[in-house]
Amino acid sequence: MKTSNTNILLLVSLILAFEFLILCNGQGTLLSKTFYKKSCPKALDIIKNVTSSKVAANSALGAKLLRLHFHDCFVRGCDASVLLDPVGTGQTEKQSIVNTFLSGYDVIDNIKTAVEKVCPDVVSCADILALAARDSVSVPFGKPMWDVLLGRRDGNVSLLTDTFVQLPAPFSNFTSLKTLFASKKLNLNDLVTLSGGHTIGVSHCGSFSNRLSNFSSTSNTDPSLDPAYANLLRTECPTNSNPEVEMDPQSSLSFDNHYYKILFEKKGLFQSDAALLTNRDATTIAQKFTNNKKFFEEFGKSMQKMGAIEVLVGKVGEIRKQCRVVNSK
Ligand code: HEM
Ligand SMILES: *[C@@H]1O[C@H](CO)[C@@H](O)[C@H](O)[C@H]1NC(C)=O
Ligand SMILES: *[C@@H]1O[C@H](CO)[C@@H](O)[C@H](O)[C@H]1NC(C)=O
Ligand SMILES: *[C@@H]1O[C@H](CO)[C@@H](O)[C@H](O)[C@H]1NC(C)=O
Ligand SMILES: *[C@@H]1O[C@H](CO)[C@@H](O)[C@H](O)[C@H]1NC(C)=O
């Protein structure tokens, strides 16, 4: 009959539409390596060139850009919300105390300016940040360390208060880390792998000084911290100032698996690092990364998952003209 045929057709198209929706919701499925191939074929080279010249002038930059990308993705997804400057009395993510030591914003601005000159209004700030993080870490290797999937669009909301809820704290225990990562669709393997980001960069003493004195009613120093290392940190961290220390001593500029080696020596700097060894499965994963090749492989995969958190794609969001401000209507 004609009507039942129409009904079946309707049903089939409903099912197809539903499946399409599910596919679209699968984060990252709409990102692609070749997103700018036609619309801005030079974008990736420009971003790589500007990033490498900045890293050549400041080798600490790789860590800054990697952390900036992480803090972008965990708060409202990878939508460049972390880059937005406050307007009026509205307080944005970058003003949060947990983001005090983020930097690299000026480098993103420089890259954006260079890209806009060649293809205006095409490349999102969120994609630039994802690429710059990858490229800055990759400079010493002379080749891209992982593929960055592209097509993110920029958000128009940035709230200081989001940062407290959505970012892990250096004193987070294993349960809260695992729960928080799971809320971003990142699993235990991703947690252990991405914590390896602490193989580069620095921390201010204030982020771990609670481990060095008056730690608990039973122990002055955090028992999960190597006592000799705690002594060294105490000398580097005078109580009246808040200097920086290397997170992976003597190896803080080299992106490698050294983080896991010192983790097993109880020299992970944060409680969140030490917390990984409080879980058997996490410990097993960390042990696997005493093989550098395995760490690099997994890090790339987990960065792709992190880079796909709650991304805006298609028609939602916008391509910002300037990374620090939303477009005016
Ligand atoms: C697992 C939960 C994590 C916690 C609790 C955490 C916490 C922190 C803290 C407190 C600092 C030092 C801030 C300061 O005092 O200056 C830091 C630095 C850093 N974090 Fe994390 N982080 C985590 C995960 C990650 C991830 C997933 C990445 C990237 C993949 C990352 C990359 C970095 C880098 C590169 C630095 C050094 C930044 C610099 O040199 O300025 N972290 N992190
Ligand atoms: C990037 O740098 C390379 C090497 O300096 C140069 O050959 C190339 O033309 C640059 N590409 C762009 C798009 O600026
Ligand atoms: C972990 O931290 C959370 C949040 O501070 C707390 O509620 C929970 O009791 C802690 N879990 C353990 C096992 O200590
Ligand atoms: C440790 O705690 C005690 C009691 O709360 C306090 O008097 C002392 O100043 C603290 N010491 C340090 C180094 O913070
Ligand atoms: C922010 O973006 C959303 C979704 O893309 C849009 O609906 C809304 O109008 C935008 N708001 C402003 C103030 O631009």
Asked if 203 and 242 sit in the same domain, the reply is yes
Inter-CA distances, 129 with 99, 274, 318, Å: 16, 29, 15
Q: 49 CB under 6 A from ligand 3?
A: no
Q: pTM value?
A: 0.92
Asked if 138 and 195 sit in the same domain, the reply is no
What is the rounded CA–CA span in Å between residue 114 and residue 99? 26
* 244: DSSP letter: E
Q: In degrees rounded to 5, what are phi and psi of residue 72?
A: -65, -55
Q: Minimum-distance ligand to the CA of 240?
A: 4
Q: Which of 20-29, 47-56, 138-147 has the lowest mean pLDDT?
A: 20-29
List own/partner pairs for 3-6 with CB under 8 A and 24 or more apart. Answer: none
Per-residue model confidence as pLDDT tens digits over 77-93? 999 999 999 999 989 99
Q: Minimum-distance ligand to the CA of 176?
A: 3
- Find the CATH number of the domain harbouring 49: 1.10.520.10
As annotated, the binding site for substrate includes: 168
Neighbours of 56 (CB within 10 A): 10
Helices (H), the chain: 2-25, 43-57, 61-74, 105-118, 125-138, 160-166, 174-183, 188-195, 227-236, 258-264, 271-274, 280-288, 292-306
Inside any domain, residue 214: yes
Inside any domain, residue 34: no
pLDDT in the model for residue 250? 84
How many folded domains does the chain comprise?
A: 2
Rounded average pLDDT over 300-320: 98
Asked if 160 and 58 sit in the same domain, the reply is yes
If one residue of 214, 215, 216 were mutated to test the ligand 4 pocket, choosing by the most ligand atoms within 8 A of its CB, it would be 214
Per-residue model confidence as pLDDT tens digits over 244-263? 999 998 888 899 999 999 99
Inside any domain, residue 22: no
pLDDT of residue 187 exceeding 80, the answer is yes
Confidence of residue 1 (pLDDT cuts 50, 70, 90): very low
Q: 45 CB under 6 A from ligand 2?
A: yes
Query: Active-site residue numbers?
Result: 71
Inside any domain, residue 239: yes
Domain that holds residue 117: 43-166
If one residue of 40, 44, 49, 51 were mutated to test the ligand 2 pocket, choosing by the most ligand atoms within 8 A of its CB, it would be 49
